[in-house]
Amino acid sequence: MSSSADLYNIPSSPCQSPRPGQKKGRRTRERGKVFWYQKKGAKGIVGLICLVGLFFVFNGFMVFRLQADDEISGEKDVPVRNSSSISVSIKGESKTIGKGKRLRKGTYDRMLALAAHALAENKREPKDLWQELFVPASAWRPCADRRNWNPSEGNNGYILVTANGGINQQRVAVCNAVVIARLLNSTLVIPRFMYSSVWRDVSQFSDIYQEEHFINYLTPDIPIVKELPKELQSLDLEAIGSVVTDVDIGKESKPSFYLKNILPVLLKNRVVHFVGFGNRLAFDPIPFQLQTLRCRCNFHALQFAPKIQETGSLLIQRLRKNGARPGPLDHYLIGPYAENNLQEKLGHAVKASRYLALHLRFEIDMVAHSLCEYGGGEEERKELEAYREIHFPALTLLKKTTKYAPMHFFFMCIIPCM
């Protein structure tokens, strides 16, 4: 009698060997798996080799293009002469500047080469290159002169400001001081300008702006006085903690900072003196009415003194001598002289005006910071080094600890100063 294991063809013992047909099928499957893995590995290796080859081909192409650009730049010898003793030649790996002085090839060489080639190819300039953006600018309508609040009483104390920097930084500081005076319900004292050893300009507020117009125009917003009351003039503001410098205020601080940190000092001492005050009030976020007040101060309250308006009118007249259309900001900048310019232009042939304005910022602080030399010899070098030790000690340390070859040509050094 056969057992159940025999009926179902199941080996009676685990050690019993499988049949020959089963062994053959298993070997076939194993061979297929090995072949599949080998085939997949070969494809991966081929793909990797292709990627590496493509990388080297692309890299070689880019190097070829760069070398081709350098060769094109060296094909033409384009001299640029500023005087009988200064010349620049774009050719080869370096340029000769002045007497026997050579500079390494760099970004400025490439920029100069591109400019020279553009001139050499005599390309037509775009039609709208010199077009005045009068239509887009005239679409905006002034709104800063509108007021929808009551005048501030200014009874929390007095705000003093001694602004530093150039005329632009001083103007921003004045506008910010007007906003802070309104925010803190205080009275603004006519701002003063810090004397700078760079500009050596002793001009004060009334020398640059129309003081009475400034006071009268902002009266509906804040009270403004020309000096502190006598009982406060004798105070030692630094001793009582009322002097606030740029170190004490973060750049573009929010109005909440002034309400939290400056208002208590103002209420305690009756006066706060901001020294420097460069860009110490944020533009965003700020209440719309305060931002409008800042614009109102900048475009309406700060009117240049008549002598400056007259000089500005002469410059505008020369720039626009061929056009009869006034600019949208002429009235705010030069006041009544804008109408005089328009009357003088009437009857002249209208022709498109073309001019280029360039602000070089060629001042001692910019010159010292650029680490460049401008042909002044040993005397210039000593003067700039002395200034650098005081105002830019980090640059002085850099020159002492690293090898540095200063540039000797005005054209190559003036761009970093801008």
Given the DSSP bridges, would you call strands 192-193 and 243-245 parallel, antiparallel or unpaired? unpaired
Same domain flag for 243 and 220: yes
The three-state secondary structure class of 417 is helix
Domain that holds residue 380: 364-417
3-class DSSP string for 114-182:
HHHHHHHHCCCCCCCCCCCCHHHHHCCCCCCCCCCCCCCCCCCCEEEEEECCCHHHHHHHHHHHHHHHH
Whole-number Å distance between alpha carbons of 157 and 15:
105
**Residue 23 within any structural domain of the chain:** no
Among 315, 345, 375, residue at a domain's last position: 345
Query: What H or E segment, with its residue span, contains residue 345?
Result: helix 337-345
Query: What H or E segment, with its residue span, contains residue 221?
Result: none
- H helices, E strands: number in the chain: 18, 10
Query: For residue 209, what are the β-bridge partners?
Result: 304
Give the pTM.
0.59
Query: For residue 274, what are the β-bridge partners?
Result: 161, 244
Q: Rounded to the nearest 10 degrees, what angle do helices 337-345 and 306-319 cross at?
A: 30
Same domain flag for 293 and 315: no
Tens place of pLDDT per residue across the chain (418 aa)? 444 444 344 444 444 455 555 555 666 666 665 555 566 677 778 778 888 888 777 777 776 665 555 444 444 443 433 333 333 333 333 444 344 444 444 566 767 777 777 777 676 766 766 666 666 666 777 788 889 899 999 999 999 999 988 888 899 999 999 999 999 999 999 999 998 766 678 999 999 999 999 999 999 999 999 999 999 999 999 999 999 998 899 889 999 999 999 999 999 999 999 998 988 999 888 999 999 999 999 999 999 999 999 999 888 888 777 655 666 677 777 888 877 766 665 555 555 566 677 776 677 777 888 888 777 788 888 888 888 888 788 888 888 887 665 554 444 454 444 4
**Residue 5 within any structural domain of the chain:** no
Predicted pLDDT at 33: 58
Whole-number Å distance between alpha carbons of 366 and 362:
6
**Residue 45 within any structural domain of the chain:** no
Angle, vertex CA 370, rays to CA 366 and CA 375, nearest 5: 95
Same domain flag for 219 and 313: no
Predicted pLDDT at 172: 95
Query: What H or E segment, with its residue span, contains residue 393?
Result: helix 393-401
The three-state secondary structure class of 37 is helix
Same domain flag for 340 and 376: no
CA separation (Å) from 296 to 54, 74, 277, 331?
A: 62, 55, 19, 14
Q: Exposure pattern of 243-264 as b/e (b: 16+ CB <10 Å)? A: bbeeeebeeebebeebeeebbe
Same domain flag for 261 and 330: no
Whole-number Å distance between alpha carbons of 316 and 296:
24
Same domain flag for 169 and 285: yes
- Cβ proximity of 259 and 287 under 8 Å: no
**Residue 398 within any structural domain of the chain:** yes
Joined tokens for residue 226 = 């020309």
**Residue 331 within any structural domain of the chain:** yes
Residue count of the chain, please give it. Answer: 418
Angle, vertex CA 316, rays to CA 312 and CA 321, nearest 5: 150
The three-state secondary structure class of 364 is helix
Which of 312, 367, 360, 368 is closest to 335 using CA atoms?
A: 312
Same domain flag for 196 and 243: yes
**Residue 17 within any structural domain of the chain:** no
| CB neighbour list of residue 321: distance below 8 Å, 6 or more residues apart | 345, 348, 353
Same domain flag for 162 and 282: yes
Same domain flag for 100 and 208: no
Joined tokens for residue 193 = 């300008």
Predicted pLDDT at 282: 93
Predicted pLDDT at 234: 93
The residue to which tokens 């005081």 are assigned = 390
The three-state secondary structure class of 96 is strand
Q: How many domains does the chain have?
A: 4
Predicted pLDDT at 232: 95
Same domain flag for 288 and 402: no
Helices (H), 209-262: 211-217, 230-233, 255-257
Q: Exposure pattern of 206-223 as b/e (b: 16+ CB <10 Å)? A: eebbbbeebbebbeebbb
Rounded to 10 degrees, what is the CA torsion of 248, 254, 258, 261? -60
**Residue 143 within any structural domain of the chain:** no
**Residue 148 within any structural domain of the chain:** no
Among 275, 301, 327, residue at a domain's last position: 301
Peptide bond into 285 cis (omega under 30): yes
Whole-number Å distance between alpha carbons of 88 and 80:
5
